[in-house]
Structure 1
Amino acid sequence: MSAGTEEVPAEDALTDDAFLGGRLQLLQPPRGHRAGHDAMLLAASAPEAARVVDLGAGVGAAGLAYAVRVPAAQVTLVEIVPELAGLALRNAARQSPDLSGRVRVVEADVATLGRPSGPPEPPARAADLVLMNPPFNDPARHRLSPHAGRALAHAIADADVATWLRAAERLLAPGGRLALIHRPEAIEALLEGLKGRFGAVTIRPVHPGPGAPAHRLLIGAVKGRRTPPAVLPGFVLAEDAGRPSAAAEQVLREGRAIGPD
């Protein structure tokens, strides 16, 4: 991933959005890639860990949501766009209680992490958990947004997700865990990228409603493990009437974790 330009609007143009029933407040630009359910689901799907790295953190949504849920976690937010990295730092400091004491922000390209020539933080082979919300849209299948920030946040080829998986492997300690969210269409590239690096892969489909095809996958994996993959029960966001499901309310409003099964 190469650096891009994201124009963050003036202070009075930023939106101040509540997540997790108001437990998390995020300043973010009104246009471009905006934090939503994906980041909250990713944070809720991850097991508790002490040393956590959030790759492609944007304004900090997933990593900060995780820090809210797991008070003992030390979280590093990695973001390539300087303006978004700055907002992530501000968002950490403006929570109640202030999270800046255990959340740090690193402005870096994911591809450089954990390499001798890369940034010193986060260090290689030190993380217990890596959260990953890689750009979703394969340019071969999706029309790119004309907005530079949205395109950077949303578009890499499915095959290029291996770059992010290699970075996660370099950052994780032996037996460390990976949690990621992606589109179902990318499952082949994801499994290929995990092969030989991660095992004990779990795949949880996320459905917008009852009977609807999955539109996201929550994937967990363990570095160095060779256990075969398993498909977990699906997570349904809304009931037939369009109201949030009980499970979605517990995760998205009450800030609970998504159980292991």
Structure 2
Amino acid sequence: MNCDPTNSAVVDEAGFTEDAFLGGRLRLRQPRGGHRAGHDAVLLAAATAARPGDRVVDFGAGVGAAGLALARRVAGVDLKLVEIDPQLARLARDNAAANGIKAEIVTLDVTSSANAFAAAGLVPDSADVVLMNPPFHDAGRHRASPEAAKALAHVAGPATLESWILAARRVLKSGSALTLIWRADGLADVLAALAHGFGSVQILPVHGEAAKPAIRVLVRTVKGGRAPSRLYRSLVLNNESTLPKMQLDDVMAGMALLPLAAP
């Protein structure tokens, strides 16, 4: 679900477009080819709870879509965007500046050591919120893109999910929340990875169409949480019967939140 949620227009001859998100309140420059931000990033931002002053860390930020969308909604967050690809990290920096959003951009592999994180200013127990959209296609079942950047953004290795969740657990303060989006058929893997140090799990399935299985899950979980798990009513992107179209449109425009973002 990384298709463009609004409109695109090629703005130069170097293969970049400028795309409107949140009903035009956020404009992002990104490569025309390769991995492109879209619905996943907007849904992730709408599922993430944050307050002014919170230190928010976006793992795998790409051009900054999810983190910047969250910062557009919650003014005054201390935003840090973590991205492995230097070109995307530069675009994220430019996009933050172009939208008047203060953000620190770090070029870093999320699977790096604790020392590498600390050198980048991400010391243990320092974040109030982590959100992430890890590479989630199974390398054994998914043919990697010949474009290196797209393959890096989409294809997960055997330890990708566990490594990313470990990094989130390390940087989060006790009692703080991680929100992530993952493919729905990998939910068992998500729950297994969260069993070490996380609890109070909330799950929101996302369906492309009502009659078909879920294609994504949005998951919110708390470091050290002990509350019972919650499974929310599904979000259906192309059917008005489960979630009124007006409400879904408000979510995509950044005017409404998903249940996981409730305090």
Query: How many residues were matched structurally?
Result: 247
Tell me which of 81, 84, 90 is aligned to 1:86: 90
Equivalent residue, structure 2, for 1:137:
137
CA distance in 1, matches of 2:239, 2:232: 20
* Superposition deviation, residue 225 in structure 1: 1.4
One-letter amino acid matched to 1:116: N
Picking from 37, 45, 61, the partner of 2:47 is 45
Does structure 2 conserve the Cα–Cα contact (< 8 Å) formed by 1:236 and 1:245? Answer: no
1:11, 1:57 → 2: CA distance? 24
Structure 2: distance between partners of 1:66 and 1:192: 27
Q: Is the 8 A contact 1:63 1:77 kept in 2?
A: yes
Q: Which runs of 4+ in 1 moved over 6 A?
A: none
Give yes or no for the alignment of 1:211 onto 2:211.
Answer: yes
SS at match of 2:111: helix
Tell me the TM-score normalized by structure 1: 0.89
* Structure 2 unmatched runs, 5+: 1-10
Identity %: 45
Aligned residue type for 2:165: L
Equivalence for 2:7: none
Q: What SS class does the counterpart of residue 54 from structure 1 fall into?
A: strand
Q: Paired residue for 1:161? A: 161
Stretch moving more, 210-219 or 54-63 = 210-219
Change (3 A) 1:91 1:138: same
User: Which of 6, 12, 17 is the matching residue for 2:19?
Assistant: 17
Q: Write out aligned runs for 1:28-107 (5 A).
A: 28-49=30-51, 50-95=54-99, 98-100=100-102, 103-107=103-107
The CA distance in 2 between the partners of 1:196 and 1:109, in whole Å, is 22
Judged with a 3 Å threshold, the aligned counterparts in structure 2 of structure 1 residues 232 and 195 are, in CA distance, closer, same or farther, namely: same
TM-score by length of 2: 0.88
Report how far residue 236 of structure 1 moved. Answer: 1.6
Cross-structure match for 2:189: 189
Structure 1 spans left out of the alignment, 5+ residues: 1-8
Which residue does 1:111 correspond to in 2? 111
Q: Secondary structure at the match of 2:43?
A: helix
Amino acid at match of 2:259: G
